[in-house]
């Protein structure tokens, strides 16, 4: 089957992919925190908007693909061939697209949580500064 070298290569490859994925996730989180801390509040919404649009595009592509494809299966039964064509039902198509849309919006939700948490800290600091200025007057 597989040699020791094949198995070692597969393990190393999986570890490299996991490290790259972790690096991308950490980079996105750090970038989101930095953008959210900027004075312009709209900069912190850039990554969540990109993530939302990505989820919408993927869900739309699944929706259109499933709606346009008929799956034909060939069955061999005792030397006879039977063809069966299955077209996805509208409820299945919409349900699958909605599930994929929800799944791909998990990063959007995480980015929005980071944004609102960071912005609330900034708003609290600005309120404290305003109160201290008012106290000095």
Q: What confidence tens digit (pLDDT) does each residue in 122-131 have? A: 887 777 777 7
Are the CB atoms for 44 and 115 separated by under 8 Å? yes
Secondary-structure breakdown of the chain: helix, strand, coil percentages, each rounded to the nearest 5: 75, 10, 10
Q: What does the pLDDT average to over 28-51?
A: 95
Q: Would the pLDDT of 135 be above 70? A: no
Return the pLDDT at 32.
97
Contacts by 50-53, CB closer than 8 A, 24 or more apart: 51/104, 51/105, 51/107, 51/108, 51/111, 52/105, 52/108
Assign 18 a pLDDT band (cuts: 50, 70, 90): very high
Domain count, the chain: 1
Are the CB atoms for 39 and 124 separated by under 8 Å? no
What is the β-pairing status of strands 80-87 and 70-77?
A: antiparallel
> Could you list the residue range(s) of the whole structural domain that residue 102 is in?
4-136
Encoding tokens for residue 125? 């600091």
Return the pLDDT at 69.
77
Q: For residue 45, what is the enclosing H or E element?
A: none
Q: Per DSSP, what are the bridge partners of residue 73?
A: 84
Q: What confidence tens digit (pLDDT) does each residue in 48-107 have? A: 999 999 999 999 999 888 877 777 777 777 777 777 777 878 888 899 999 999 999 999
Return the pLDDT at 48.
97
Give the separation between CA 32 and CA 124, rounded to whole angstroms.
Answer: 19
The model's pTM is 0.75
Cα(first)–Cα(last) distance of the chain, in Å?
A: 81
Are the CB atoms for 119 and 40 separated by under 8 Å? no
């Amino acid at each position: 089957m597989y040699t020791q070298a094949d198995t070692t290569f597969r393990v190393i490859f999986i570890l490299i992919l996991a490290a790259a994925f972790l690096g991308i996730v950490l980079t996105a989180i750090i970038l989101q925190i930095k953008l959210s801390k900027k004075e312009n509040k709209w900069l912190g919404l850039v990554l969540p908007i990109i993530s939302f649009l990505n989820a919408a595009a993927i869900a739309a592509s699944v929706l259109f693909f499933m709606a346009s494809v008929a799956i034909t299966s060939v069955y061999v039964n005792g030397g006879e061939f039977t063809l069966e064509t299955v077209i996805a039902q509208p409820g299945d198509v919409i349900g699958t697209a909605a599930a994929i849309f929800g799944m791909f919006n998990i990063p959007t939700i995480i980015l929005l949580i980071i944004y609102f948490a960071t912005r609330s800290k900034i708003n609290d600091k600005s309120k404290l500064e305003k109160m201290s200025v008012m106290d000095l007057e």
